[in-house]
């Protein structure tokens, strides 16, 4: 069983580090505009080389953690899985798109530049359509969730994401009258989901074989080898995230200084979406009498986002300086404190659920 490592102090205060990186990005972008412009120009097609490397650092360690062998047991306890899949793929993307249209085309119409409204909506759609892959293990750990079941949910979500993410995003962007660059969208999924996933699988196989060749042939020893590798790689993942935040806010620093209210406005639909989706999933699990060690992770998985993918695709589709990219980075800032508050609530209400099926 692949048990995630406990959350450390660095990850616990991730929102603080993200906030500091936002400040650093704005300051550096204002002080060194020529440097940031040169970095923005280091791209081929729609892919910025610096950002691509940083996002790979974020995504690759997560993909090594995904154990597809756990899929063979998902039929044994289907309730939590059904709730997660329905929320992730049939509810969450559409509610996020709806909230984006409602707020940025109607409620906030007098507070923002109408020309940028569609960009903000696009960023929200990308967040809503990208189910969480990495931080899921942290939320599951903090609620003492069933680690094997969480792995099964993540593995199945990743399989679905390879095929469903691009069409779903295209559908929702089309509804909001944004032209869909299909080639760039498919390229982004390939670069930031499919290739890292394949690399992660290959790494996992080699780590397992290495454990076996060293006389540690049991499944437990192989899993321990994977866990040690991902623990060593985790700092790179977080540094990749923070480096991306610095770059994005460096590119967009002047816009933010000119519109300090913008971050708060973007956060409003994100907060409503997060707490609303959790309420739907958690209530469904309670009504269906799902045990707590499955109910809490399934609701938290449905609530959180694969913001690394959303950031990457926003940059690829709309550019480093786009409103869509800004929204996805604000999603990072909002998500961590929201998810920690939901973990606290779940742990306080675990008596609402049976202990086992």
65-107, pLDDT tens digit by residue? 766 676 676 666 788 889 988 999 999 999 999 999 999 999 9
**pLDDT score, position 6:** 44
Average pLDDT, the chain: 80
- Region 272-283: mean pLDDT is 95
Separation between Cα atoms, residue 185 and residue 166, nearest integer Å: 6
Residue 65 in tokens? 């953690």
CB neighbours of 115 closer than 8 A, spacing ≥ 6?
A: none
Is residue 175 within 8 Å of 157, Cβ to Cβ?
A: no
Separation between Cα atoms, residue 214 and residue 222, nearest integer Å: 10
105 to each of 120, 152, 298, 306, how far by Cα in Å? 10, 38, 32, 25
- Region 267-290: mean pLDDT is 94
**Residue 126: strand, helix, or coil:** helix
Stated pTM of the model? 0.72
Separation between Cα atoms, residue 200 and residue 145, nearest integer Å: 24
**Residue 31: strand, helix, or coil:** helix
The band of 335, judged by pLDDT with boundaries at 50, 70 and 90, is confident
Q: Does pLDDT of 167 surpass 70?
A: yes
Q: Tell me which fold the domain 9-352 belongs to.
A: Na+/H+ antiporter like fold (1.20.1530)
- Region 125-148: mean pLDDT is 77
* Domain parsing of the chain, residue ranges: 9-352
Chain position carrying tokens 């008596």:
351
């Amino acid at each position: 069983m692949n048990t995630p490592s406990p959350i450390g102090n660095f990850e616990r205060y991730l929102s603080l580090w993200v906030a500091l990186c936002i400040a650093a990005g704005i300051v550096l972008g204002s002080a060194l505009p020529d440097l940031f412009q040169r970095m923005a120009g280091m791209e081929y097609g729609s892919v910025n080389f610096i950002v691509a490397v940083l996002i790979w650092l974020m995504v690759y360690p997560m993909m090594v953690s995904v154990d597809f062998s756990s899929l063979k047991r998902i039929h044994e306890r289907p309730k939590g899985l059904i709730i997660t899949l329905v929320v992730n793929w049939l509810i969450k993307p559409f509610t996020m798109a709806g909230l984006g249209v409602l707020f940025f085309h109607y409620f906030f119409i007098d507070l923002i530049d109408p020309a940028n409204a569609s960009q903000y909506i696009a960023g929200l759609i990308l967040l809503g359509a990208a189910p969480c892959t990495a931080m899921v293990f942290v939320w599951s750990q903090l609620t003492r969730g069933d680690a094997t079941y969480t792995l099964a949910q993540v593995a199945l979500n990743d399989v679905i994401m390879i095929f469903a993410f691009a069409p779903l995003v295209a559908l929702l962007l089309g509804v909001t009258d944004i032209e869909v660059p299909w080639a760039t969208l498919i390229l982004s999924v390939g670069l930031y989901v499919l290739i890292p996933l394949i690399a992660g699988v290959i790494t996992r196989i080699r780590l397992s074989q290495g454990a076996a060749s060293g006389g540690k042939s049991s499944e437990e020893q192989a899993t321990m080898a994977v866990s040690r590798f991902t623990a060593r790689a985790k700092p790179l993942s977080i540094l990749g995230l923070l480096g991306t935040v610095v770059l994005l806010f460096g590119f967009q620093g002047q816009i933010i200084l000119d519109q300090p209210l913008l971050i708060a406005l973007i956060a409003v639909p994100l907060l409503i979406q997060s707490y609303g989706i959790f309420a739907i999933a958690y209530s469904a699990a309670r009504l269906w009498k799902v045990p707590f060690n499955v109910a809490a992770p399934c609701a938290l998985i449905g609530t959180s986002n694969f913001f690394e993918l959303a950031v990457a695709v926003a940059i690829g589709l709309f550019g480093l300086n786009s409103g869509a990219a800004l929204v996805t980075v604000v999603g990072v800032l909002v998500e961590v404190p929201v998810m920690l508050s939901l973990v606290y609530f779940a742990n306080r209400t675990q008596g609402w659920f049976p202990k086992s099926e």
